[in-house]
Chain A
Amino acid sequence: MRLPCPYCGERDSREFTYRGDATLTRPAVESEMADYVYQRDNPLGWHKEYWLHTVCRTWLAVERDTRTHALGPVSIARCERVGS
């Protein structure tokens, strides 16, 4: 699997660190915190997730099909407020 970094081009997945579900938004109230930390949609199919490009230290928001590992749109995470 190779991931396209907007700065570095397509790079081997070993250069990246997986950082999980990118659709979560930190809640404002304590009572919703457990759900935020622990509960996941865990979809079969398209999944929006964070990958850290360890080389250039850019956080990416990647859409990837969990059935096939096929990639969809990739964006720089800080340029979009995902899930809000």
Chain B
Amino acid sequence: MRYSLASVLLNAVSGQSRWSPAWRSPEPAAHYDVVIVGGGGHGLATAHYLAKHHNVGRIAVLEKGYVGSGNVGRNTTIIRSNYLLPGNTAFYELSLKLWEGLEQDINFNAMVSQRGVLNLCHTDGQRDAYVRRGNAMRLNGVDAELLDADQVRAFVPFFNFDNARFPIKGGLLQKRGGTVRHDAVAWGYARAADRRGVDIIQHCEVTGLRIDKGVVTGVETTKGFIGAGKVALAGAGHSSRLAAMAGMRLPIESHVLQAFVSEALKPMIDTVVTFGAGHFYVSQSDKGGLVFGGDIDGYNSYAQRGNLPVVEDVMESAMALWPALGRVRLLRSWGGVMDMSMDGSPIIDKMPVDNLYLNAGWCYGGFKATPGSGFCFAHLIATDQPHAVADRLRLDRFAHGALIDEKGVGAQPNLH
């Protein structure tokens, strides 16, 4: 059923009895034209854009857990496109534009809220870097505003501006950035793809790739063999394991990233703010919880939980920026497994095995990229050509030295 005022009214007068499940739960067919491995945000978005824009035949999405159980339901819901380097700027801007039209596209309320993303700076050098980034963004048609200390104070007056060690000198604001209800993104894309005929098969883990003379012909799964014309890997933190099934290694390490939510509070903050002197960023959900996160724990991990030093580090940063949080109680913390690439930027490319495609290396920026990633990955799968805004996100850029290293720290994934 298409969601509309009419459907709401119909159910209002019929005891809410006319709703149907948002997507089917089919058994896998013997063969699909495209099999997408990974039913997270990126896999589901890929399925949606493949079915909508490209005529590729039957499509299946295989998810080892349930829809929304992975990183798409574990992130801190922030969207933005404030990137400096060619290869990233245009890609993330396409993604942000797709966010802006997402709800109409998929007929689902994802609660896209363009409440702004403000990066605070605390030193003259950091401000210079933000000026450079903001200028690069504006040259690429992306909105960016540099705020001085007084403008920051007027925008978010409740922070500690008199911190002797980390004075707030200003900030880089992207007003079109904001937050999106992450679960709704997974559900909305799943429903939209399902309505276009995509089979979403949950609790179906891929255990192997069948490769015949350098061409992938299908996937071995916990529900048996599924033949495939093309196989697209969107396994996020488990991408290295999927690549290993094709006998390949990737320029990726898996690391755990923790996030936190506080008890529900009255409205305290109506934007997204990142602390520039420590690992802390914060926004407030519509339920009232303060959602915040920090940096990755910094060592290889497939555990969806982290350790206490990072928890303490994030809380210390929170207190340095926003002393009013001192009496707030933490409700939950959790971890997600990040596919940290060697330059901090993602990969959307063909694999050396024919008909095998890779979408990986999202580090901890995967959520904001969901629509753009799906859109460009679908384009690559359908046409065998990279989309124009994703043509630098190549797997072979490491061997050729064409890295996209926003932080400039080199091949150390735990520092990106």
CA distance A21 to B251 in the complex (A): 12
Chain B contact residues: helix, strand, loop or mixed: mixed
A-B contacts, CB under 8 A, total: 66
CA distance A43 to B240 in the complex (A): 8
CA distance A40 to B244 in the complex (A): 11
Count residues on chain B whose CB falls below 8 Å from chain A CBs: 24
CA distance A5 to B408 in the complex (A): 32
**B241 interface contact, C-beta 8 A:** yes
Closest to A70 in B: B303
CA distance A39 to B361 in the complex (A): 12
| Residues in B whose Cβ lies below 8 Å from that of A38 | 251, 342, 398-399, 411
Closest to B415 in A: A18
Interface string of A2-39 (1 = CB under 8 A from B): 00000000001110001011000000000000110111
**B238 interface contact, C-beta 8 A:** yes
Picked from B302, B303, B414, the residue with its CB within 8 Å of the CB of A18 is B414
Q: Measured between C-beta atoms, what is the minimum distance from B403 to chain A in Å?
A: 9
A41 touches B240 (CB 8 A): yes
Closest to A33 in B: B399
CA distance A64 to B252 in the complex (A): 18
Chain A contact residues: helix, strand, loop or mixed: mixed
B399 touches A34 (CB 8 A): yes
**B299 interface contact, C-beta 8 A:** yes
Known: A34-B399, A69-B307. A42 touches B299 (CB 8 A): no
A20 touches B412 (CB 8 A): yes
| Residues in B whose Cβ lies below 8 Å from that of A40 | 240, 249-253
| Residues in A whose Cβ lies below 8 Å from that of B252 | 40, 42
Closest to B243 in A: A42
- List CB contacts (< 8 Å) of B213-250 with chain A: 238, 240-241, 244, 249-250
Contact residues of A with B, CB < 8 Å? 1, 12-14, 18, 20-21, 34-35, 37-44, 47, 49, 64, 66-69
**A39-B250, A40-B251, A69-B307 known, 5 other contacts, Cβ within 8 Å:** A38-B399, A41-B249, A42-B300, A44-B238, A69-B303
